[in-house]
Structure 1
Amino acid sequence: MKGGIKLTFGEKLQAGLEKTLSPIAAKLGSNKVLRSLSNGMIMTLPLTLGASLFMIIANFPVPAFTTWLTNIGVAAQLNAIAGGTLNILALFVSFTVAYSYTKELGGKPEIGGMFSLASFLIVAPQTIGEGKKAITGFAGSYLGSQGIFVGIIMGLIVALLYVKLSNVKKLTLKLPESVPPMIANSFAPLMVGILIFLVDFLIRLAFEFTSWGNIFDFINKVVAAPIRSVGGSVPAFILVYMLANLFFWFGLHPAPIQAVMGTISTSMLLSMVAQSQAHETLQYLTNYVVFDFVNNDATGSTLSLLAALLIFGRSKRYRSFSKIALIPNLFGINEPVVFGLPIMFNAILVIPFVFSTLFSGFIAWIAVKIGFITTLHATVAMSMPWTMPKFVISFFVYGWQGMVLRILIFVILIFIYLPFVKIMDNKELQTEVQVKE
């Protein structure tokens, strides 16, 4: 009861979640580390959103159009925009996180950011290939999605080291007053920088004597290795992708996990191609359908999140963001939502983001068990471009039943996200009202 009015189940759920999650979100929001992470990731939003639009054009899911772009020499130039932004996002993250954290700690943010960026490049492998075929250079995979977690770690550690060491007077070089301030300020953190680079050297040296070889492979392989042994059962697909969502919430990109599970799903498709040609029962139908629907669109089924914000949200910030991020998300580009909304380290959204996979995978499993999805075109599934919206892919792979199932899960997940969206939206709306006043 509230003021003599009986609350509905939805209102009770909303009140319970708000009572539980709001204090947690407030506490996390006051934490300097988490606030720096959030602010640092939001700073990359202009890059991720802007580049994603060009990326869609360059990889538009119409083969004739992309072939034409390639033939006239435009595709490579469009892809270069992603190559200088999304594909090296870890570089920017190492700077922006350190910048934000240094600012929180009271240091000079631009110096902390530069030290972090330098440290990130120092610990990264600086050769591509092995033996006599090795060439000097930075591998793009380490600078992009698979290096974001390392970028975050370096940003936090280097910022903390820089601020702490800068407060030690003996480590700060003081030049005569006759020296111009700009030059004096540039020389002041010289000893601090040497000590930070010494730490970078020790990190490189330590990993050089391990089987991983570098900190990047250590993180990616340690995460992916256990997944590889799990297999491709229905519970495994759901559990693994729930873990992948959780890792993404922490800032660890799910690309290594997706690569492992993608290999398993591809082997299933190859088996089903042969089974279809022999007019045999599709052995892995249930497993593959669950795999295909565990993320109904992008990781965490964030298209439903954006739809919930657009339909039910009232704050200008979230509505404006959702309008811009909707198109890239529809084409499978999820980084603007995860890093720009942000979902990462957002205490309110962690539950629906992780458990969306459980709901979508379970509904897909039911759809096969009750005979709603009875077959799939394996060769079509293998040939579809990654930027093709999943609603369209489902129609060609499963027929109209696949598209209906995709839409059904999309709508259900809107209401899964809704209670959490309302908490987040109301909080932002109050902030906007206070700013106006």
Structure 2
Amino acid sequence: MSFFDKFQTGLEKIVGPIATKVGENKFIIALTEGFMLTMPITLGVALIAVLTNFPIPAWVSFLQNAGLYDVGNQIITLTLSLLAVYVVGAIGYRYTVNEGEHGMTGALLSLASFIALMPVENLTKADGSPITAIATEKMGSQGILVAILIGLFIPWLYVKLTRKKLVLKLPESVPPNVSQSMAPTFVAMIIFSLIFFIKYVTGLTPYGNVFTMITTIVAEPISAFGATPIALIVVFTLMNLFWFFGVHPNTILMVYMPILMMAGISNQEAFLAGKELPFYAFAVVGAAVQIGGAGNTLGLCIATLFGKSEKYKAMRKLVIPANIFNINEPIIFGFPLMLNPLYFVPMVLSPLVSGLFAMFYMNLLDINVNPTVSMPWVTPGFVTTFFTGGFSLALLWFLCLFIHFVMYLPFFLMDDRRAIQEEREQTQTQVQTQNQTQTQTQTQNQTQTQAV
């Protein structure tokens, strides 16, 4: 048995039971299935996101002149940037259905509770007329964690209260659809009273609302880090750790963004003045800690090429093209990686390993970094690194991609074998069902023949 096989066997013995136990948890199941329900949105908008931000000036100019650029970005804003809205309803639906209750009721109560918690601002238009506004960022990256919590808690409470017989009973003469809609009236009153209390109490705190409170508590410690390569590695490792547990990486990245901008601007000023870059190492390591999006998921996408299950043969056709352009929601929610203990180690530790490797690498090769180069976020990493730092930086990018691939591969192969086993069991079940159906049909035909 090779070292690789021994390593995989050890992983299965250690990680396997944990992954199985966690995977059987009803909250994790609802979370996984809920995020998978949002895949048509993330996959459907991926093409628009790539084409709208394609890094060719002539193409962007054409879109702007034709009025297509703004429309494309609006579509992205109202789908990918409002993902928390879709997530909370999808999770609420799956949890409620899995518990044997009315799925749409759980979904709508979750969605309504989530929106009810949002802060509302009273603004004035240019003509002086009043307008009520809801900040869209609360429906996107800043709202993902709240969406997960609400999407699990509200349907759990709805199921608990429903089973306590706190339902409105109507006469049998009332049509079933009307009766089903009216039944959770008392339960809904209790839920929205609780939401009212939560919103009121959080409004009395310095944070002002539950969204800002959770974001601040999570992100505040991050702002204490400085602009050093080690700090950058730690921040991106923490981003992946929080992303694993459902906290969107932008929650942390936005707090650290002033430090990133300060380092970038300082490098640009020094480069234009012909001086040595003050944050040279910071710029080089920055190219290595996130490849393909948070979680360094492009390495996992490449690993899917070695998959043998039908599930991952189909999945790789979807995730690889999107991830090349740094769109990794399909793989984050589709595998899923989030709250999947099987992928915890490579997802969280990949920026640490590749970041330390980058610090070693830049001592071996000279990298002439041009910090004035700026490209859209959907530009493939090998393109950005080549124009930013030439062949040396692009080579570092490919080497780090290989590191991420090697880190993900054994865990993916374990996952792939499980998928194969599940497919075999499903096939056997289908065959047995077909055989039973055929046997029953033959028995019925024989009975009818004898009767004749």
Q: Shorter-normalised TM-score: what interval? A: over 0.9
Q: Name the residue aligned to 2:413.
A: 422
Match of 2:360 among 356, 359, 366: 366
- Cα distance in structure 1, aligned partners of 2:240 and 2:268: 30
Instruction: Give the structure 2 partner of residue 167 of structure 1.
Output: 163
Residue 445 (structure 2) aligns with: none
C-alpha distance in structure 1 between counterparts of 2:172 and 2:327, whole Å: 53
> How far apart, in 2, do the equivalents of 1:304 and 1:93 lie?
26
Residue in 1 that maps onto 2:450:
none
Give me the whole-angstrom Cα distance separating, in 2, the residues matched to 1:374 and 1:184. Answer: 70
1:341-390 CA-to-partner distances (Å, cap 9, x unmatched) read 210111111110111111111111112122x143311111xx22111111
The superposition leaves residues 254-308 of structure 1 with CA deviations (integer Å, 9 ceiling, x where unpaired) of 1021123332122112112222233322221112211232113311111110101
Q: CA RMSD in A?
A: 1.8
- What one-letter code is carried by the residue in structure 2 that aligns with 1:436? T
Cα pair 2:284 2:393 within 8 Å, conserved: no
Q: What does residue 327 of structure 1 align with?
A: 321
Q: Return the match for 2:29 from 24, 29, 35.
A: 35
Q: How many matched pairs?
A: 426
Answer yes or no: is the 8 Å Cα contact 1:285–1:375 preserved in 2. Answer: no
Correspondence 1:40-59 to 2 at 5 A: 40-59=34-53
Correspondent of 2:343 among 337, 340, 349: 349
Question: Is structure 2 residue 265 aligned with structure 1 residue 274?
Answer: no
> Structure 2 matches for 1:60-71, cutoff 5 A?
60-71=54-65
- Give 1:408 shift: 1.3
**Could you tell me which residue of structure 2 aligns to residue 3 of structure 1?**
none
Matched, 1:184 2:179: yes
For residues 16 and 301 of structure 1, the distance between their equivalents in structure 2, rounded to whole angstroms, comes to 24
Contact 1:94 1:151 in 2 (8 A): yes
Cα distance, 1:39 vs. partner? 0.7
For residues 373-420 of structure 1, the C-alpha deviation after alignment (integer angstroms, 9 at most, x for no partner) is 43311111xx22111111101011111111111111112221111110
User: For 1:110-149, what aligned pairs fall within 5 Å after superposition?
Assistant: 110-127=104-121, 135-149=131-145
Whole-Å separation in 1 of the counterparts to 2:5 and 2:173: 69
Post-superposition shift, 1:62? Answer: 1.4
Does the Cα contact within 8 Å between 1:384 and 1:393 map onto a contact in 2?
yes
Contact 2:85 2:111 in 1 (8 A): yes
| In structure 1, distance between residues paired with 2:294 and 2:216 | 20
Task: Decide whether the 8 Å contact of 1:173 with 1:189 is kept in 2.
Answer: yes
What residue number does 2:229 align with? Answer: 234
Q: 1:148 Cα deviation (Å)?
A: 1.2
Answering whether residue 387 of structure 2 is matched by residue 396 of structure 1, we say yes
Equivalent position to 1:223, from 211, 218, 225:
218
Q: Would the aligned equivalents of 2:325 and 2:378 in 1 still touch at CA under 8 Å?
A: yes
CA distance, structure 2, for counterparts of residue 306 and residue 280 of structure 1? 40
Gaps (5+ residues) in structure 2? 429-452
SS of equivalent to 1:369 = coil
- Conserved in 1, the CA contact under 8 Å of 2:82 and 2:139? yes
Structure 1 residues 195 and 272 mapped into 2: Cα distance closer, same or farther (>3 Å)?
Answer: same
Q: Secondary structure of 1:348's match?
A: helix
Q: 229, 240, 246: which is aligned to 1:251?
A: 246
The offset of 1:24, in angstroms, is: 0.8
Contact 1:265–1:291 (CA under 8 A) maintained in structure 2: no
- Select between 290-299 and 142-151 the one with higher mean Cα deviation: 290-299
For the 8 Å contact 1:127–1:134, the answer to whether it is kept is no
Contact 1:128 1:134 in 2 (8 A): yes
**Cα distance, 1:354–1:129 mapped onto 2, change above 3 Å:** farther
Query: 2:369 is paired with a residue of what secondary structure?
Result: coil
For the residues of structure 1 that align with 2:382 and 2:25, how far apart are their CA atoms? 40
Q: Is the alpha carbon distance of 1:274 and 1:52 closer, same or farther for their aligned partners in structure 2, counting shifts above 3 Å?
A: same
Contact 1:265 1:288 in 2 (8 A): no
Percent of aligned pairs with the same residue? 39
Alpha-carbon distance, 1:10 to partner: 1.0
Q: Residues 220-249 of structure 1: CA distance to partner in whole angstroms, max 9, x if unpaired?
A: 122221101111222211111111101111
| TM-score computed with the length of structure 2 as normaliser | 0.91
- CA change 1:347–1:52 in 2 (3 A) is same
Unmatched 5+ stretches in structure 1: 1-6
- 1: distance between equivalents of 2:122 and 2:307? 47
TM-score for the superposition, normalised by structure 1: 0.94
Where do residues 202-221 of structure 1 align in structure 2 (5 Å cutoff)? 202-221=197-216
Distance 1:25 1:64 in 2: 49
Kept in 1, the 8 Å contact 2:121–2:134? The answer is yes
What is the alpha-carbon distance in structure 2 between the residues aligned to residue 369 and residue 34 of structure 1? 44
C-alpha separation in 1, matches of 2:150 and 2:381: 36
Q: Deviations over 1:103-151 (max 9, x none)?
A: 2222211111110000000001122769999841221111112211111
| C-alpha spacing 1:248/1:134, structure 2 compared with 1 (3 Å) | farther
Change (3 A) 1:433 1:235: same
Deviations 1:62-84 (A, max 9, x none): 12212211211122333333233
Larger Rg: 2
Mean Cα deviation higher: 135-144 or 15-24: 135-144
Relative to structure 2, which stretch is displaced further, 291-300 or 73-82? 73-82
Instruction: Give, in whole Å, the separation in 2 of the partners of 1:291 and 1:207.
Output: 37
Partner secondary structure for residue 134 of structure 2: coil
Letter in 2 for 1:429: I
Contact persistence 1:304–1:410 (CA under 8 A): yes
Give the letter for the 1:397 counterpart. T
- Which is further off, 121-130 or 174-183? 121-130
CA contact (8 A) 2:284 2:358 kept: yes
1:337 to 331, 335, 346: 331
Contact 1:29-1:35 within 8 A present in 2 as well: yes
Contact 1:158–1:196 (CA under 8 A) maintained in structure 2: yes
Q: Is the 8 A contact 1:25 1:347 kept in 2?
A: yes
Specify the code of the residue in structure 1 equivalent to 2:426: V
More displaced 10-residue stretch of structure 1: 73-82 or 330-339: 73-82
